[in-house]
Amino acid sequence: MWPLIAAFSLLSATIVQALPHTNSSHHPSTELKWRPCNLPFPKSLREQITVPIDCATLKVPLDYTKPKLGKTLGLQLVKVHATKEPRKGSVIFNPGGPSSSGVEEVVVKGPKYVETLGGQFDVIGFDPRGTGHTMPYICNTTAVQENKTEKKTRSTPASLPQENMWDILKSKAWHDGGLLATACHQTLKDTGHLYGTAFVARDMLRIVDALNEDGKLRFWGRSYSTALGQTFAAMFPDRVGRMLLDSVLLADDYYSGNWATSAAQTDASLDHFFTECIAAGPDLCPFANFTGPDTKPKDLSAALGKVYQELIDKPIVLPKNYPTTTLPWWQPGGISLLGQVKFSIFSALYQPSSFTTLMASISAALSREWDLWMKAGEAEPTSSSPEPAWNLQQHGFHGIACSDTKFRAKTPEDMYSLLQYQSSKGGFADGFMPQVWPCTQWKMDAAERYEGSWRNITTSFPIMLANSPFDPITPVASAFEVSAGFKDSRVVVHEGHGHGIMNHPSACTIQAIKEYFSDGKLPEHGTRCKPDKTGFEEGKVKPQWWEKLGV
């Protein structure tokens, strides 16, 4: 994503060479001691657990590049048991992020995943480094200074009008990203190199060996965890038993730091939402007849684009007290309303269960009710401290992703060409791409990165990939590009809305997953699966919902 900072030191290069990626020999390990969980889950999480959960702790090397030091890290594992005989082994599930907790997701949704896999597999979750309770990534940012400059914006040609990303970078994002990079380095300079994806792949290999099954990884990874899966498969191709990559992040794009594919399909996702809105009708979607009974998705896109252009021509800057929770690394002040609007719409495209939020956001935008928008975002005082979350990380996304990525910049000018490239990828590039810009100034590199090829990799069992053409952040083209690099792999085009196949499920996709894991049957080339319900049905959108919100 950015010019290399004299990239790796000579020492780092030596470390990468000293760790052969194909070293997949079994590691001696005592059998895991599974016991009923007694973890300090917050009450809100405990209330969602519906079946008995077992726990075990596995010690893995803290630093795989310095094994002689003997330092270890305890990985917390959780297990939801298979419900049918004969039991066929374990599937490790990880929800991605990077920064999401595998423990948290499996204890809540594990029973659903057991059912989806056919009932004969245990489902195991763990918190990768930097997430949950595993070395949670928390930077001391209290000493950072505020940036009081405001941005100047102008239009950049795209499918939807954009703010000028170069102006965003120069006026604010470079400054704020540098503060975060400095704060994290000051807090974690002694351990920041221990969080990379290659180490997590090695952690998973240790889990596989400790399970004492057949020595093969069975894995279901979603979003960022598809990059983790690709990394494991490239490093240890002979240890792949079954691997489902769900909503595929292109690993090469991720490690390079470009993230260019991230906004490539967001416009198509929004267009699909508008199509579903019009089909659902005005009782469920308040702007279904926006231009009359013959309203088309392009009409709604054009109307929203007009709003965007107005906010570009006459920018509105959010007040300093506005809680920009979707942009947690930005300093107060100088954040444009358009950037917040775009990111909010972008985030709500992830799943049909967010359709009500999405419609409220778009309705407020189309009516230009910006005072109500900002008032709705104001934080309300609370009488007591909030319940602590299980996932303790605060800066895990950047801590993991930035240490993995190669691109570094010394000045904003080093990023100019990259920004032009990113902005050309879709109308929401200005809403998402600033999230990854702090990585350009990151001061810590992962102790190990996968440096090999992503092409012509033969795994011990072919990989299955599933991706929606209406996913806002991982385009289906990425799934096919990854598949092209792993021999004999297959792609299921899952036609549900959003990010993650279980957010808008299809019996057809679920059947393909069951047959793949249980019987080793690969889906036919060209397999396409339609969801069982419309997005509005899956999201349980109720008629006239907006009357209560004053939309």
- The mean pLDDT value of the chain amounts to 88
Decide if pLDDT at 13 tops 90: no
Asked whether 129 and 447 are in contact (CB, 8 A), the reply is no
In a domain, 349, yes or no: no
Q: Which residue has the higher pLDDT, 149 or 397?
A: 397
In a domain, 403, yes or no: no
CATH number for position 492 = 3.40.50.1820
Q: What percent of the chain has pLDDT over 70?
A: 86
For 495-548, give the DSSP string: -SSSSSGGGS--HHHHHHHHHHHHH-PPPPTT-EE--SS-HHHHTTPPTTGGGG
Asked whether 462 and 491 are in contact (CB, 8 A), the reply is no
In a domain, 395, yes or no: no
Per-residue model confidence (pLDDT) at position 167: 93
In a domain, 369, yes or no: no
Give how many domains the chain has, as a whole number.
1
Residue 325: Cβ-neighbour burial (10 angstroms; 0-12, 13-18, 19+): exposed
Per-residue model confidence (pLDDT) at position 16: 38
In a domain, 537, yes or no: no
In a domain, 280, yes or no: no
What does the alpha-carbon distance between residue 381 and residue 403 come to, in Å, rounded to a whole number?
Answer: 36
What does the alpha-carbon distance between residue 80 and residue 114 come to, in Å, rounded to a whole number?
Answer: 8
Whole domain around residue 519: which residue ranges?
34-129+197-252+471-530
In a domain, 173, yes or no: no
Q: How confident is the model at residue 447 (pLDDT cuts 50, 70, 90)?
A: very high
Decide if pLDDT at 28 tops 90: no
Decide if pLDDT at 158 tops 60: no
What does the alpha-carbon distance between residue 19 and residue 17 come to, in Å, rounded to a whole number?
Answer: 5
- For residues 216-244, give the mean pLDDT: 98
Residue-wise pLDDT tens digits, 102-133: 999 999 999 999 999 999 999 999 999 999 99
Decide if pLDDT at 405 tops 60: yes
Per-residue model confidence (pLDDT) at position 399: 93
Question: What b/e readout covers 353-375, taking b as 16+ CB neighbours within 10 angstroms?
Answer: bbbbebbbbbbbbbeeeeeebbe
Alpha helices in 257-313 (DSSP H): 266-280, 297-313
What does the alpha-carbon distance between residue 249 and residue 405 come to, in Å, rounded to a whole number?
Answer: 14
Per-residue model confidence (pLDDT) at position 150: 42
Long-range interactions of 53-61: CB distance < 8 A, separation 24+: 53/78, 53/79, 53/80, 53/107, 53/110, 54/78, 54/79, 54/81, 55/79, 56/32, 58/29, 58/32, 58/206, 58/207, 58/210, 60/202, 60/203, 60/206, 61/202
Residue (of 266, 274, 269, 470) closest to 363 by Cα position: 274
In a domain, 541, yes or no: no
Per-residue model confidence (pLDDT) at position 388: 80
The predicted model scores a pTM of 0.91
